[in-house]
């Protein structure tokens, strides 16, 4: 009730003065900026969403960098004609074995 009387008194008496008008404009601008912070194009919620997305992409980047390093290592082994790695690839991918080798099968 007291706040209502103060507001009514402000608009009846103080609003018409220079200081009252400046104060009212300052309050309106503050209210506008608060609304922009909460619901504007670049609001706080959007900033939080961007930070979360940034963290997610940084984690994805780390995973991809590890995978790239692994692939580079494998390609270097193939380019350098590492016979052990090539034999391993033949066994895994093509189910082929170099000559004079034996395959032992287990029965489960």
Residues 84-95 have pLDDT tens digits of: 888 788 777 777
Please, what is the Cα angle at 23 between 20 and 29, to 5 degrees?
Answer: 140
Domain spans in the chain, listed from the N-terminal domain onward: 1-40, 42-96
23 neighbors 16 (Cβ within 8 angstroms): no
Residue ranges, the chain, pLDDT below 70: 15, 96-103, 108
- Cα 61 to Cα 53: distance, rounded to the nearest angstrom: 12
- Note the pTM of the prediction, 2 decimals: 0.50
- Angstrom CA distances, 68 to 84, 92, 94, stand at 21, 21, 23
User: What pLDDT shows up at residue 107?
Assistant: 73
- Angstrom CA distances, 67 to 64, 70, 76, 79, stand at 5, 5, 14, 18
């Amino acid at each position: 009730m007291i706040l209502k009387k103060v507001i009514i008194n402000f608009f009846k008496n103080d609003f018409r003065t220079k200081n009252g008008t400046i104060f009212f404009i300052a309050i309106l601008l503050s209210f506008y900026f608060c609304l922009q912070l909460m619901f504007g194009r670049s609001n706080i919620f959007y900033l939080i969403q961007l930070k979360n997305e940034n963290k997610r992409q940084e984690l994805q980047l780390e995973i991809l960098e590890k995978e790239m390093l692994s692939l580079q290592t494998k390609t270097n082994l193939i380019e350098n004609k590492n016979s052990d790695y090539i034999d391993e690839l033949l066994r895994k991918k093509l189910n082929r074995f170099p000559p004079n080798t034996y395959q032992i099968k287990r029965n489960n």
